[in-house]
Amino acid sequence: MIKQKGKIIVVVGPSGAGKSTLLKKIRADFPELKESISCTTRPMRDGEKEGINYFYLTKEEFIQRRDKDSFLEWATVHSNLYGTSKEFVESSVIRGDSLLFDIDVQGADAVKKHFGRGASVIFVAPPSIEELKVRLIKRGTDSDEVIGVRLKNAQGELKRKDDYDYLVVNDDIDRAYDEIYKIISGVLVS
């Protein structure tokens, strides 16, 4: 067991719930929160950079690292592999740096299992599945097929909404952010 000085804040929720929008505000208001850069096998998107958004690995490289126990957690999300570096997270929180995580529910479960009360998980839920669909369509970043997969996955993820430390319903973005701002401020001074 490591001696944890920094806090871990995890934001989870289905695709389209508003996590990226809320994370942008969190990053601006809490610059002291560092972010772990995950490894992924998903292809780099336009505008992304190696070592900034992710470390991009082949499936073979990812499996090699996984088998060497380099990941604190890893998961298959929307058909690609994603993993969080154990070394980065442990050395950061031992040093006293607090971390912000944007990972999926499987990752949140693993982080919670590893850090217990040292990790605070905020589940961001849409007001309804219908509204989630509207947001995914309006966002315009995904094909109908991808939206279908994300909506199907969302049904399962939403069943877990009450299993975490905090549940924030993103009905109105300013109201939801206000709630998240208070939660994070409270965690960081605790």
CB of 177 to ligand 5GP, least distance (A): 18
- State yes or no: residue 73 binds ligand 5GP (CB under 6 A): yes
Beta strands in 103-159 (DSSP E): 119-125
Q: Which does 172 bind (CB under 5 to 8 A by kind): ligand 5GP, ligand ADP, none?
A: ligand ADP
Regarding 136 and contact with ligand 5GP (CB under 6 A), the answer is no
Task: Encode burial over 71-100: b for 16+ CB neighbours within 10 A, e otherwise.
Answer: bbbbbebeeebbbbbbebbeebbeeebbbb
Residues 21-60 that bind ligand 5GP (CB under 6 A): 38, 42
Q: Is 126 in the site for ligand 5GP (CB under 6 A)?
A: no
Secondary structure E strands in the chain: 8-12, 34-35, 39-40, 55-56, 71-77, 80-85, 99-102, 119-125, 166-169
Residue 106 lies near ligand 5GP (rule: CB under 6 A): yes
Quick one: what does residue 70 bind among ligand ADP, ligand 5GP, none, with the CB cut-off 5 to 8 Å set by partner type? none
Instruction: Write down the least CB distance from residue 139 to ligand ADP, Å.
Output: 4
- Compute how many other C-beta atoms are within 10 angstroms of the C-beta atom of residue 41: 19
Contact by Cβ (8 Å): 189, 145: no
Q: Which chain residues interact with ligand 5GP by CB under 6 A?
A: 38, 42, 73, 75, 77-78, 82-84, 102-104, 106-107
